[in-house]
Amino acid sequence: MKQSAKDFKTDQEVRWCPGCGDYAILAGVQSFMPELGLAKENIVWISGIGCSSRFPYYMNTFGMHSIHGRAPAIASGLAITRPDLSVWVVTGDGDALSIGGNHLIHALRRNVNLKILLFNNRIYGLTKGQYSPTSEVGKVTKSTPMGSLDHPFNPVSLAIGAEASFVARTIDSDRKHLTETLRRAALHEGTALVEIYQNCNIFNDGAWDPLKDSEHRDSLMFRLEDGQPITLVDGSRGVVRAANGSLEIADVAEVGIESVLVHDSRNPDPAVAFALSHLSDSVTLADTPIGVFRDVPRASYDSAFHAQIESAKAGGRGDLGSLLAGNDTWEIA
């Protein structure tokens, strides 16, 4: 039977604020789900706590809304033991990067078969608007009336540093790009981290507007496409190698398109992807790449895990009686 987005909707009333970016992501995911070609019962959504983490309640699959920050750990336990399932994690910038930072980096380095969607609105939505680990320095919120002091995380840089085998970034309002990115993530074996720029219109409205506004975005954003030179969408400027070996941005007219780096998400060396993730200005959002930064093959943790079990069982299954007896026993009559 052919599935449609409707098959993945639940009868639960969606309770995000009207206008929240989460709606667009939910609709995008629901219409993408049929592409997986999986029966609904074989898909599981697991989340932590936050506005974003309500997501599983709205997906007509198996799902668990767990506790703050721990979804990657819980999902790892499920994915490792049930390789027959397609396991997806929804998390927020606070959930994934503050309280759950440890689980996120370890899931990434292990490469468990998980697809992690990180809804980044640069704010704590559910607790009503404190700054988050992705908020820009100087952010004025209820908990930082004089502006926040701590330097933000860049989730893509963090993931690459944590040995992630798949890292991408997309935007809530760009359905086509969102769908393409989910498709690439779904095909990847191992952990895929997809950062989704999401608007919280209540506590941090317009956080990503420069990248959405049709007048400016083309001069601010790189769309990463394999085999294509990495230029801003308007083609004006491109990424080139600087004399000191790092990356810099130059006028394409000046340096010539042939000196612009060609994107290669499959590059085994993470250095270029990391440098790309670090080009953007966290305040103005100038020079922000979106797309798949890194997508390299690496055996998933769960496949290696089950290979060990299979090889242990190849010598025959265990016999409980002889296990309990051990090899040093005596008889009492």
Partner 1 sequence: MSKQVVQLSRVIIRFAGDSGDGMQLTGDQFTSRTAWFGNDVATLPDFPAEIRAPAGTIPGVSAFQLHFADHDITTAGDTPNVLVAMNPAALKANMRDLPRGADIIVNTDEFTPRNLAKVGYAASPVDDGSLESYSVHPIPLTSLTVEALRSFDITKKEAERAKNMFALGLLSWLYHRPTEGTLTFLKQKFAKKPQILAANIAAFEAGWSFGETTEDFSVQYEVQPAPMLAGRYRNIHGNLALSYGLIAAAQRAELPLFLGSYPITPASDILHELSKHKKFDVMTFQAEDEIAGVGSAIGAAYGGMLAVTTTSGPGVALKSEAIGLAVSLELPLVIVDVQRGGPSTGLPTKTEQADLLQAMFGRNGEAPVPIVAPRSPGDCFDAAIEAVRIATTYRTPVFLLSDGYVANGSEPWRIPDVDSLPDLRVAFATEHNHTNDDGSTEFWPFQRDPETLARPWAVPGTKGLEHRIGGIEKADGIGNISYDPDNHDRMTRLRQAKVDGITVPDLEVADPDGDARVLMLGWGSTYGPINAACEIARRSGVSVAQAHLRHLNPFPANTAEVLRRYDKVVIPEMNLGQLALLIRGRYLVDAISYNQVRGLPFKGEELAGVIKDVVASV
Judged by the rule CB under 8 A, the positions of this chain that interact with partner 1 are 10, 12, 39-42, 44, 46, 49, 56-57, 59-67, 70, 73-82, 84-85, 102-103, 106, 305, 308-309, 312-313, 315-318, 320-321, 323-326, 328-333
Strand-pair partners of 107: none
CB nearer ligand TPP, residue 94 or residue 229:
94
The reply on whether position 92 binds Mg ion by CB under 5 A is: yes
The reply on whether position 190 binds ligand TPP by CB under 6 A is: no
Nearest CA among 275, 261, 104 for reference residue 194: 104
Q: Which of 8, 20, 231, 300 touches ligand SF4 by CB under 6 A?
A: 20
| Euclidean distance between CA atoms 149 and 214, whole angstroms | 32
Nearest CA among 33, 46, 42, 48 for reference residue 3: 33
What's the closest the beta carbon of residue 183 comes to ligand TPP, in angstroms?
Answer: 24
| Euclidean distance between CA atoms 197 and 291, whole angstroms | 12
| Euclidean distance between CA atoms 38 and 88, whole angstroms | 13
Nearest CA among 224, 287, 295 for reference residue 265: 295
What's the closest the beta carbon of residue 315 comes to partner 1, in angstroms?
Answer: 7
Give which of ligand TPP, partner 1, ligand SF4, none residue 63 binds (C-beta under 5 to 8 Å, depending on kind): partner 1
Mapped onto helix, strand or coil, the DSSP state of residue 313 is: helix
CB nearer ligand TPP, residue 22 or residue 302:
22
Q: Which helix (H) or strand (E) holds 43?
A: strand 43-47
Give which of Mg ion, ligand SF4, partner 1, none residue 92 binds (C-beta under 5 to 8 Å, depending on kind): Mg ion
Q: Which range binds ligand TPP by CB under 6 A, 57-65, 87-95, 247-255, 303-311?
A: 87-95
- DSSP secondary structure letter of residue 60: S
CB nearer ligand TPP, residue 76 or residue 198:
198
Strand-pair partners of 229: 262
The reply on whether position 22 binds Mg ion by CB under 5 A is: no
